[in-house]
Amino acid sequence: MWQAEHIRDRLSGLWAGAEVSILGMTTKGDQILDRPLSQIGGKGLFIKELEVAMQEGRADLAVHSLKDVPMEMPEGFSLTAITARENPRDAFVSNKYAGLDALPAGAVVGTSSLRREAILRAKYPQLKIEPLRGNLDTRLRKLDEGQYDAIILAAAGLIRLGLKDRIKAVLTPEQSLPAPGQGALGIEVPADRADAAAWVAPLNDPDTAYCVTAERAFSRALGGSCQVPLGGYAVIEDGQLWLRGFVATPDGKEMVADELRGQPEDADTIGRVLAQRLRDEGADAILAKLAACA
C-alpha cells in the first residue's frame, strides 16, 4: 500500500485540484504466502487482478514494485513511468550477527528468492538456506521468533516502511547482485489511455528508466522469471551505463556472469548483448537444466 499512497501523493502534488484515490486490492501473489513464488505461478500473480481492474474501467493506472513485474508486458498495457530508485541492494537482517561473513557454519538464512539462494549457496556453502514467505511484518516476526539466524530482504522495502534500523548491513553488488528493477516503482497504464500516460509522465526518472530498461532487456533475453536464478543491475557511471548480470542454478554450483558498458540511450541493446554474451559463455546449458526441472 505504501507505493500506491506514495504515487497518489505525488500526483496530487503535480495536478492541483485533482482527486486521486486508491482502489485497494489484494492480489493472488499477496494471498499465497506459504510457498515460494517459483512454485505458484511467478511474478504475474502480483499484477493480473490490477490489469483486470484497468480493463474494466475501475482503475486508471497501477503501481508496481518493478522487480515483481514480468519481463513481458501483456498486450494492451505499458510501463509508462519509472520513478527514481530507492536503494536497489539486498539487506542483511539479523538480531545476532553483523553480516554474512559473521554467520557460523550451519546458521539458518531465510530468503524468498532463487537469485539470493543461488548466490548464498555459491559463496557461503556452509550456511543453511531456508525459504521465507509472507509480508514484511511476517518475515521479520519469523526472524524475531528465532526461526532464522538472518534473513535477506530488499533494502528498499525496509527503508520505505521506516524500518531502516532493522538493516544490519546493505550487501554490495559483489556480495549479492540485485534483481532487475529492484528498488524502482513502475506505473502501468492501458496502452490506449494517452490521458493517463500524460498524468504520470512527469514522475519518470530518466536515469532510473535507462538502468531498468537494460536490466529488464537482459532478463527478458534469458527468459527471466521466478524460476530462473538471475541477477541484473545497472548504474550510470561517468556518463556510461554499466550493466552486470549473471544466471545460475539454484544450488549455486553453476554460474555465468559478465558485464558490459555503453551509452544510456542504448540501454535495451546493452541488455540484449550482455544476455547473448552469457549465452556464448555457457548460460544456455544452465537454462536447459532449469527448464528440465520446471
Catalytic residues: 68
Measured CA to CA, the distance from residue 262 to residue 123 in angstroms comes to 29
Angle, CA of 30, 22 and 210, to the nearest 5°:
75
**Three cell numbers at 127?**
550456511
* C-alpha to C-alpha distance for 59 and 53, rounded to whole angstroms: 6
Grid coordinates representing 33 are 504466502
208: left (phi over 0), alpha (psi -120 to 50) or beta: alpha
- What value does the CA radius of gyration of the chain take, rounded to a whole number of Å? 19
